[in-house]
Amino acid sequence: MNDFQWMEIGTIVAPQGLNGSVRVYPSTDFPERFLQPGQRWLQYNKSDEPQPIQLVKGKYLPNKKLFVVQFANVNNREEAEKLRGCLLLVPKSDRPKLNPGEYHIQDLIGLPVFNLLTGSIIGSIIDVIIIADNYILQVQEETTGGTEGTEGAKTTEDTEGAERRKKKVNKKVKVKSKIVLIPFVEEIVPIVDLKIRRVEVLPPPGLLELN
CA 55 to CA 83: how far, in whole Å?
13
pLDDT reported for residue 145: 54
The answer to whether 137 and 184 are in contact (CB under 8 A) is yes
Q: Which amino acid is at 122?
A: I
Domains of the chain in sequence order: 3-94 (2.40.30.60), 98-211 (2.30.30.240)
Does 143 or 35 have the greater pLDDT score? 35
Instruction: Look at the chain and count its residues.
Output: 211
What are 169-187's pLDDT values in tens digits? Answer: 444 454 567 899 999 999 9
What are 144-161's pLDDT values in tens digits? Answer: 555 444 444 333 333 333
Alpha carbon of residue 120 to chain centroid: 22
pLDDT reported for residue 106: 80
Does 96 or 40 have the greater pLDDT score? 40
Given the DSSP bridges, would you call strands 21-26 and 6-16 parallel, antiparallel or unpaired?
antiparallel
